[in-house]
């Protein structure tokens, strides 16, 4: 596809890298000529230095418009205007990153009247990811598939973990639960494991199962952590606002600490029932006075990665507190999670780029099934995708053991049309109306047919 990316910050750069690797024709636009030149040299794409909301600049990118324009500048207004201009010159689809909560009430108008194909709010999307983990604190990260009937969680085997030294075949046999370890990260090595694979201390494992079976699994191992009920948030930011709003349905005591009196005042006015403290969270005495020892969840959402990492490490010292830090720089995130220094980290830019990539993948589908969800795990090295199965496909009704499935591809879950979730065995087959979760390490999958080897059932 012909794709224009306006704005070459963290999100724009990540999208350029991924979409170029997938073979799309990319034109990158940014007002900073040095950024444009750099990205042209690194990713071998075309670049235009200028205002991406300008008619002439977009015409220079693609004379008659592109298939898609993605606007990810730091200005909501420029992003909206860039999308409007793109539609006028013939661009078929437009995506705008919009952060201002005031615009949220106008999303329907923006889509219907302004022609925006997708609006992504980074803070809101990241808050939703944090909220999912707080509801299941045993996980480092949690993704949902098939309308919530399947969950994929990331979990680290710490010192003394009862799973260390256990072969996966023995695990499945002893647990009598329908679950699947679909990927394992061991240092720099990523494996889609078979039954003979033996888990080791320090492994990060990725489990798929129904929500109930995941809870039962951790309970039987004695590793289950109850849903967080006492939460401390550092940073009265937009993301904190969205997170608190998302958690309103959960009975939870929430304390927010921020060094800005203005932000504290706004938070206390917009979020009644939340305890808001004006103070410096870097002061350990303040944290202790406000009951850090009694918290079973701590979320650091300041604007500085370094501050979030240090505060989270301090909060984690007690051992019983679920800790989540917002860390946008990939190098810092890798450092923070190395050897279990921190439990969970979230990146606004990663969440945003993954949401946009999911939409782009869905646009490409024209064959017998479509991508319904896309999540990148293990630092983006593994993809978990959800597809729908339509009648007439050659793989329908064929037992999985008889299908020539490509190496490093795993069918991790099936939800039947009647809602029944299945952790598949070799005897199971795909049926029309199924939703299917596929996990892949290295294989590029655009369509469900792509899980088959060359010359397989077509």
What's the pLDDT band for 268 if we cut at 50, 70, 90? Answer: very high
Angle at 145 between CA 225 and CA 405, to 5 degrees: 115
pLDDT at 127: 95
Predicted confidence (pLDDT) at residue 379 exceeds the cutoff of 80: no
Q: Which of 224-238, 316-330, 338-352 has the lowest mean pLDDT?
A: 338-352
* Model pLDDT for residues 176-191, shown as the tens digit of each residue: 888 999 999 998 899 9
Predicted confidence (pLDDT) at residue 102 exceeds the cutoff of 90: no
Residue appearing with tokens 């917002």: 326
E-assigned strands of 290-358? 297-300, 322-326, 344-346
Predicted confidence (pLDDT) at residue 436 exceeds the cutoff of 60: yes
Cβ burial of 331 (10 Å; 0-12, 13-18, 19+) is: exposed
Residue among 143, 148, 142, 136 at smallest CA distance from 415: 148
Residue 36 has a CB neighbour count (10 Å cut-off) of 20
What is the rounded average pLDDT of the residues 427-435? 93
HSE, side-chain direction, 13 A CA sphere, residue 183: 27
In the three-class reduction of DSSP (H, G, I as helix; E, B as strand; rest coil), residue 87 is classed as helix
Predicted confidence (pLDDT) at residue 233 exceeds the cutoff of 90: yes
Taking the C-alpha atoms of residue 130 and residue 140, their distance in angstroms, rounded to an integer, is 10
Residue appearing with tokens 């079976």: 213
Domains and CATH numbers, the chain: 2-120 (3.40.50.720), 126-221 (3.30.70.1450), 230-346 (3.40.50.720), 361-451 (3.30.70.1450)
- What's the chain's Rg over C-alpha atoms? 23
Predicted confidence (pLDDT) at residue 105 exceeds the cutoff of 80: no
* Model pLDDT for residues 347-369, shown as the tens digit of each residue: 998 889 988 987 887 776 543 34
- Percent of all residues in the chain with a pLDDT value above 90, rounded to a whole number: 60
Q: Considering the chain, what is the average pLDDT of its residues?
A: 89
pLDDT at 180: 93
What is the rounded average pLDDT of the residues 115-121? 88
Predicted confidence (pLDDT) at residue 343 exceeds the cutoff of 80: no
* Model pLDDT for residues 2-56, shown as the tens digit of each residue: 999 999 999 999 999 989 988 899 999 999 999 999 999 999 899 999 999 999 9
pLDDT at 367: 37
Residue among 232, 243, 241 at smallest CA distance from 127: 243
What is the rounded average pLDDT of the residues 289-300? 93
Q: Provide the CA 309 distance to its chain's centre, in angstroms.
A: 20
pLDDT at 458: 45
| Residues contacting residue 34 through CB under 8 Å, at least 6 positions apart | none
The secondary structure of 397-418 as a DSSP string is T-BGGGS-BPTTEEEEEEE-TT
For 152-205, the three-class secondary structure string (H helix, E strand, C coil) is: EEEEECCCCCCCCCCEHHHHHHHHCCCEEEEEEEECCEEECCCCCCECCCCCEE
- Percent of all residues in the chain with a pLDDT value above 70, rounded to a whole number: 97
Parallel, antiparallel, or unpaired: how do β-strands 371-377 and 382-388 relate?
antiparallel
Taking the C-alpha atoms of residue 305 and residue 302, their distance in angstroms, rounded to an integer, is 7
Predicted confidence (pLDDT) at residue 454 exceeds the cutoff of 50: yes
């Amino acid at each position: 596809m012909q794709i224009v990316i306006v704005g070459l910050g963290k999100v724009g750069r990540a999208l350029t890298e991924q979409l170029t690797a997938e073979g799309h024709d990319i034109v990158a636009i940014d007002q900073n000529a040095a950024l444009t030149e750099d990205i042209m040299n690194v990713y071998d794409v075309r670049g235009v230095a200028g205002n991406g909301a300008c008619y002439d600049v977009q015409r220079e990118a693609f004379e008659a418009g592109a298939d898609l324009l993605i606007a990810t500048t730091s200005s909501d207004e420029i992003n909206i205007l860039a999308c409007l201009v793109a539609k006028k010159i013939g661009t078929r689809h437009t995506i705008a990153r919009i952060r201002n909560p005031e615009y949220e009430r106008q999303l329907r108008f923006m889509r219907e009247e302004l022609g925006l194909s997708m609006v992504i709010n980074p803070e809101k999307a990241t808050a939703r990811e944090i909220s999912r983990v707080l509801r299941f604190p045993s996980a480092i990260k949690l993704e949902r598939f098939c309308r919530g009937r399947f969950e994929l969680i990331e979990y680290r085997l710490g010192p003394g973990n009862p799973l260390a030294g256990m072969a996966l075949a023995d695990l499945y046999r002893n647990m009598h639960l329908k679950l699947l370890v679909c990927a394992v990260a061991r240092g720099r090595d990523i494996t889609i494991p078979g039954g003979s694979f033996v888990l080791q201390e320090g492994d990060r494992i990725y489990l798929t199962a129904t929500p109930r079976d995941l809870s039962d699994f951790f309970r039987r191992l004695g590793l289950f952590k109850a849903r967080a009920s006492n939460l401390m948030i550092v940073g009265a930011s937009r993301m904190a606002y969205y997170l608190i709003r998302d958690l309103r349905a959960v009975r939870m005591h929430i304390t927010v600490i921020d060094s800005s009196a203005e932000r504290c005042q706004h938070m206390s006015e917009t979020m009644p029932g939340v305890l808001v403290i004006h103070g410096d969270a870097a002061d350990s005495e303040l944290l202790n006075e406000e009951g850090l020892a009694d918290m079973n969840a701590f979320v650091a959402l300041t604007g500085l990665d370094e501050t979030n990492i240090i505060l989270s490490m301090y909060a984690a010292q007690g051992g019983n507190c679920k800790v989540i830090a917002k860390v946008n720089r990939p190098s810092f995130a890798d450092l923070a999670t190395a050897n279990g220094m921190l439990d969970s980290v979230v990146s606004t830019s990663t969440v945003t780029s993954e949401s946009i990539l999911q939409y782009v993948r869905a646009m490409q589908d024209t064959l017998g099934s479509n991508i319904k969800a896309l999540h990148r795990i293990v630092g983006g090295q593994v993809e978990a995708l959800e597809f729908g199965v339509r009648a007439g496909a050659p793989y329908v009704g064929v037992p999985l053991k008889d299908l020539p499935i490509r190496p490093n591809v795993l069918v991790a879950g099936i939800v039947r049309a009647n809602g029944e979730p299945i952790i598949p065995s070799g005897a199971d087959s795909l049926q029309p109306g199924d939703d299917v979760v596929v996990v892949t390490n290295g294989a590029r999958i655009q369509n469900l047919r792509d899980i088959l080897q060359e010359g397989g059932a077509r």
